Amino acid sequence: MLIPIQTQYHNVKLGRSKATVPRFGCLACTLSMLSELFFCYQDVPMVASHPWYALNGDLIWQSVAFPNFRFVQRIRVRNDVVVRSALANPNGGVALNCWNGKHWILALKPVQTRRGTDFLCADPLTGRTCLALATYGNITGSALFERKI
């Protein structure tokens, strides 16, 4: 499931943009990981090939369409209550925006640390799991997804 994005996909572009996966594709990698969790796997090149991206490489959230899950909401501030609730839902999935808005990771579960709530995440940059706050210092938003029922 976890493959560091810098080791491959160097020529894969996001939609019709000039943005490439290694430079701007952590969200595409996170969507690919979500597709695996929701049993409709699409690899990173397939996710990147969809027309869900603006010409600058930004994701057009409402355009995201997978067979088994859908985009619900983009939250542009840290909201641990909403993220915890979405993760507690067996039909939910959460992508976290961190590193001052420059990186996306897949939230797996909340974790209590000495500093408070953190989130164990799958990180497409390193290909490993990490604690979001301990690794990137902040969470600046999230995107919520849910299984189609």
Is 109:120 a contact under the CB 8 Å cutoff? Answer: yes
Please tell me the distance from the alpha carbon of residue 123 to that of residue 36, in angstroms, as a whole number.
Answer: 15
> Thinking of the domain 5-147, which architecture would CATH place it in?
Alpha-Beta Complex (3.90)
What would the pLDDT profile of 70-102 be if each residue is shown by its tens digit? 999 999 999 999 999 999 999 999 999 999 999
Cα dihedral: 44, 90, 66, 47 (round 10): -10
Reported as a pLDDT band with limits 50, 70 and 90, residue 10 is confident
Domain ranges of the chain: 5-147
pTM given for the model? 0.93
Please tell me the distance from the alpha carbon of residue 107 to that of residue 131, in angstroms, as a whole number.
Answer: 9
What would the pLDDT profile of 135-145 be if each residue is shown by its tens digit? 999 999 999 99
